[in-house]
Amino acid sequence: MARKKKELPLLSDVEILDVAAEGNSIARVDEMVVFIPFGAPGDIADIKIDRKKRSYAEGHIENLSKPSPIRVEPRCEHFTLCGGCRWQHLPYEFQLKCKQKQVEDALQRIAKIPFPELTPILGSENIWEYRNKMEYTFSNKKWLTFDQLRSGADFPERRAAGFHISGAFDKVLDINRCHLQEDLGNRLRVFIKKFGMEHNYSFYDLREQHGFLRTLMIRISSTEEVMAVMVFGEDDSDKIGELLTAVAENFPEITSLLYVINTKVNDTIADQEILLFKGREYIEEEMEGLKFRIGPKSFYQTNSRQAYRLYSVARDFAKLTGNELVYDLYTGTGTIACFIAPNVSHVIGIEYVPEAIEDAKVNASVNKLENTEFYAGDMKNVLTSDFISQHGRPDVMIVDPPRAGMHDDVVKVILDAAPKRIVYVSCNPATQARDLALLHEKYDIEAVQPVDMFPHTQHVENVVALTLR
């Protein structure tokens, strides 16, 4: 007979003290740390413990006895449910303080090397409708909230178009309005959902993995060009033509209307054929007169305006004179490489994804930049001592790795190459701090500049300038 699971306690009148790097708030109860989502420092609340470990516990607010004076009213009706904006209840200035502290804490606790006072974080000029890219999922089984389930009501209409519930691949929250992208994105998503319901199209079954309407990606560039990529789970040319014709007629602002027929298990379209229905196969972003072509598979920073500020910081930190050989590691589609190319003698970009490197070459060509080279391959395999001997020892290296940071082999090659300056751009202060500790063998931190790319989330970008001792 299975042992009965122990009932976890309800803690009364707990004061929430701080905010954690992962986006949760923190309380202490009898020397035990409790992590709580959607809390604010100064809240007094009854906390139901959901999970207990030796050194910490996780819980949720069962009853908010006394709200913190810093709390603000969340704008979104889906707040706490979709999981995308965990900090909408916190004032934006306070969010920025938390992000600045997150960077400082990582440098102190993980890097444990000397660093100068951080420059104040660069907040986002727009804290709503700042995302240039959104992705939505269609589902035949709308996720029901706990309140809906407790109500005992019947919910016969379960078709949805929205976001995956965090940690649940088969649960989709139906979204009425998202405030992270211009409202065109909401109007388009709602139109396709309504059209699909009126024409009795099947919505995707995430467990059984079949259905016609599957996912939708919307990109809106700072140049006001619009890309819509509709992904279908079934190859039905009549329905596809019917829907996309209606989309094109009702949304003339779409400059790139594309579609994919994806019948495989996962949602990624990286390995899928992209088909053009109307318009161009790309949209364009612009920075300082440079144009960047963005295709359906291209990576581009999601906050266009803040991307410009981020890259400007990286360029300033590089202290370019026009004579440098620069290596741009993890170059992606070559955005930073092209951005700095007018200010250097030569720039070499390296990236793992071959398609991204092809995009980088196109971007260099479009902008008539003849002092760029791009190479595709795993960084630790491409960036070797032989590569540096062949292409030249860099004066400056700019690195912008994924969240996992840099491989130890890459750090070793950088140390051996010994460029005069390194500019380290990171979306994860913890792994950045780990790598900075390794680079400290030869380098000192000269400057630190956090940049907020994602208001209302716990995520923060950070740029560090390093000088060779």
Contact 304, 454 (CB under 8 A): no
Helices 237-250/183-198 angle, 10° precision: 140
Q: Which of 76, 82, 338, 427 is catalytic?
A: 427
Please state, in angstroms and rounded to a whole number, the distance separating the CA atoms of residues 460 and 448: 13
135-157: buried (b, 16+ CB within 10 Å) or exposed (e) per residue? ebbbbbbbbbeeeeeeeeeeeee
How would you classify residue 311: left for phi > 0, otherwise alpha for psi between -120 and 50, otherwise beta? Answer: alpha
Residue type, 75: R
Contact 145, 81 (CB under 8 A): yes
DSSP 184: H
Residue 307: how many other CB atoms lie within 10 Å: 23
Contact 202, 192 (CB under 8 A): no
Q: What element of type H or E holds 290? A: strand 290-294
Q: What element of type H or E holds 15? A: strand 10-19
Q: What element of type H or E holds 137? A: strand 133-139
Task: List the beta bridge partners of residue 278.
Answer: 257
CA torsion through residues 303, 304, 306, 312, sign:
positive
Largest CA distance in the chain: 76
Contact 144, 155 (CB under 8 A): yes
Task: List the beta bridge partners of residue 375.
Answer: 350
338 part of the active site: no
Instruction: Reduce the DSSP state of residue 322 to 3 states and report it.
Output: coil
Residue 370: how many other CB atoms lie within 10 Å: 9
102, 106, 109, 115: CA torsion to nearest 10: -110
Which residues are known to be catalytic?
427
